[in-house]
């Protein structure tokens, strides 16, 4: 399949380009586009055929549901059940990097929700995403536009690397604003529950939901979260800042190491021949979160056989950041523990 790649002004998307992308979506094709979190791989959320194409292109396991994107809160009742109180809360928190889980209406095919009676809904704030949804006239299902198991794409180049030849169109709108996926909150449970930490500030969410529960590692199966997302192909471990230098010097005797760390830590580690990928400043965890997935992809190109990533404080933006780092490092850490 030939993939068309078009540059678009992210903030003032050209009408002609949006029209072309919308036509592809309406004809049940696949178009990747920038959102404020990461790039999404869009298809009509009303079409089973289109949904199946998304799963095939990404090589995504069929039990991992897709988030449905709308342009306006007032469109929610056409695809999901939500009372006035819930709609009011969603309105206050949208548009932005937060996704709400609601009971779905029949119009949304089971292929989109992986058989679940619930649908995840988000109203993005990105002008290109909004223009595309409006012009398409249908809700757009859009998982991250990466191959399953690869880090989510924060630049069009990442989408091109993973999906060129497999989808109809890629809109290149430059770098996304946040770099980590949306925060997902379940509004169907008795107590509103965060299913996935993400780009929306958790402290801010607590202001709207004082009894907010955050799902920690539990036996409860949240669709999709059992998969090893976000990980580079290169084995990677995460290490506390204090012992990073020592660990690097130890492990570099056996492995070709590449360190992913803050600028400040990078200045302190002065080991000969060790590659470094700078994530950003320790003082700005949002910046580090923004760069994380892009740096994971750089690690895969570095030629190293082990990545060592610095750990950060699990507070504010550091919560979602560390969640992604730990997920990416999980498998390698288990191997190291087993010896
Ligand atoms: P992605 O868009 O690739 O970041 O992945 C979407 C994620 O949203 C999935 O992996 C699930 O964790 C979550 N999600 C989407 N739809 C549902 C749903 N109907 N029920 C529960 N979780 C969902
Ligand atoms: Mg994803």
For β-strands 140-141 and 169-172, DSSP reports them as unpaired
* Position 332 pLDDT exceeds 90: no
On whether both 202 and 264 belong to a single domain, the answer is: no
Q: Which residues contact 108 (CB under 8 A, 6 or more apart)?
A: 45, 46, 68, 79, 80, 119, 139
**Torsion-angle region of 127 (φ positive above 0: left; ψ -120 to 50: alpha; else: beta):** alpha
279 vs 337, which has greater pLDDT?
279
Does 270 share its domain with 208?
no
Q: Are residues 14 and 129 in the same domain?
A: yes
pLDDT at 216: 79
Q: What is the pLDDT of residues 253-267, one digit of tens each?
A: 999 999 999 999 999
Nearest CA to ligand 1 atom 10: 224
3-state secondary structure of 99: strand
The Cα angle at residue 124 between residues 317 and 91, in degrees rounded to 5: 90
Q: Is residue 226 part of a domain?
A: no
Is the confidence at residue 222, as pLDDT, over 70? no
Asked if residue 218 has pLDDT above 60, the reply is no
In a domain, 222, yes or no: no
Domain count for the chain: 2
Residue 221 has pLDDT above 90, yes or no: no
Q: Would residue 224 count as lying in a domain?
A: no
Residue 219 lies in a domain: no
Q: Which of 182, 214, 246 is where one domain is finished?
A: 214
Confirm whether 120 is domain-assigned: yes
Mean pLDDT of 136-152: 96
Residues 168 and 293 in one domain: no
Per-residue model confidence as pLDDT tens digits over 267-286: 998 878 899 999 999 999 99
Q: How far apart are CA 105 and CA 80, in angstroms?
A: 5
**CATH number of the domain enclosing 72:** 3.90.870.10
**In the block, residue with structure tokens 């492995």:** 255
* Residue whose token pair is 């993005």: 124
Residue finishing a domain among 214, 247, 272 = 214
Shared domain for 19 and 49, answered yes or no, is yes
Residues 6+ apart with CB under 8 A from 5: 156, 160, 164, 169, 170, 172
CA nearest to 5, candidates 17, 23, 16? 17
Q: Are 147 and 197 within one domain?
A: yes
Whether residues 193 and 72 fall in one domain: yes
CA of 248 to the centre of ligand 1 (A): 36
Domain at 296, CATH number: 3.40.50.11030
Residue 221 inside a domain? The answer is: no
The helix/strand/coil state of 155 is: coil
Domain hosting residue 202, numbered range? 4-214
Residues 30-82: tens digit of each pLDDT? 999 999 999 999 999 999 999 999 999 999 999 999 999 999 999 999 999 99
Tell whether 225 is covered by a domain: no
Could you tell which of 150, 224, 320 is best to mutate to test the pocket of ligand 1, judged by most ligand atoms within 8 Å of the CB?
Answer: 224
Same domain, 169 and 266: no
Q: Which of 35, 36, 67, 196 to mutate to test the pocket of ligand 1 (most atoms within 8 A of CB)?
A: 67
Residue 34 falls inside a structural domain: yes
The answer on 193 and 322 residing in a single domain is no
Could you tell me the two tokens for 65? 């549901």
Own/partner pairs, 221-228, CB within 8 angstroms, 24+ separation? 222/195, 222/196, 223/63, 223/64, 223/65, 223/114, 223/116, 224/63, 224/64, 224/65, 224/114, 225/195, 225/196, 227/61, 227/64, 227/148, 227/149, 228/149, 228/327, 228/328, 228/330, 228/331
248 versus 337: which is more confidently predicted?
Answer: 248
Closest ligand relative to 148 C-alpha: 2
Residues 77 and 202 in one domain: yes
> Are residues 167 and 298 located together in one domain of the fold?
no
Shared domain for 202 and 108, answered yes or no, is yes
């Amino acid at each position: 399949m030939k993939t068309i790649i078009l540059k678009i002004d992210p903030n003032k998307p050209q009408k002609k380009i949006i029209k072309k992308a919308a036509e592809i979506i309406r004809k049940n094709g696949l178009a990747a586009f920038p959102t404020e979190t990461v790039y999404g791989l869009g298809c009509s959320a009303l079409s089973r055929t289109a949904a199946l194409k998304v799963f095939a292109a990404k090589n995504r396991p069929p039990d991992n549901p897709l988030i449905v994107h709308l342009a306006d809160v007032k469109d929610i009742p056409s695809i999901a059940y939500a009372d006035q109180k819930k709609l009011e809360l969603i309105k206050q928190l949208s548009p932005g990097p937060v996704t709400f889980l609601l009971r779905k209406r029949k119009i949304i095919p089971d292929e989109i929700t992986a058989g679940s009676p619930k649908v995840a809904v988000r109203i993005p704030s990105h002008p290109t995403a909004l223009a595309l949804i409006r012009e398409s006239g249908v809700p757009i299902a859009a998982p991250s536009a990466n191959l399953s198991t690869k880090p989510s794409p924060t630049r069009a180049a990442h989408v091109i690397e993973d999906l060129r030849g497999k989808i109809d169109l890629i809109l290149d709108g430059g770098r996304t604003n946040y770099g980590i996926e949306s925060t997902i909150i379940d509004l169907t449970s008795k107590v509103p529950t965060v299913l996935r930490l993400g780009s929306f500030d958790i402290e801010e969410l607590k202001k709207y939901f004082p009894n907010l529960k955050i799902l920690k590692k539990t036996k409860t199966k949240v669709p999709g979260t059992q998969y090893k997302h976000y990980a580079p192909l290169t084995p990677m471990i995460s290490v506390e800042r204090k012992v990073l230098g020592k660990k690097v010097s130890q492990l570099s005797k056996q492995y070709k190491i590449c360190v992913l760390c803050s600028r400040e830590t990078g200045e302190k580690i002065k080991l000969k021949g060790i590659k470094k990928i700078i994530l950003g400043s320790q003082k700005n965890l949002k910046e580090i979160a923004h760069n994380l997935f892009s740096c994971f992809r750089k690690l895969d190109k570095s030629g190293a056989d082990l990545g060592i990533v610095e750990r950060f404080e699990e507070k504010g933006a550091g919560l979602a950041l560390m969640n992604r780092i730990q997920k990416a490092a999980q498998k390698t850490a288990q191997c190291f523990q087993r010896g």
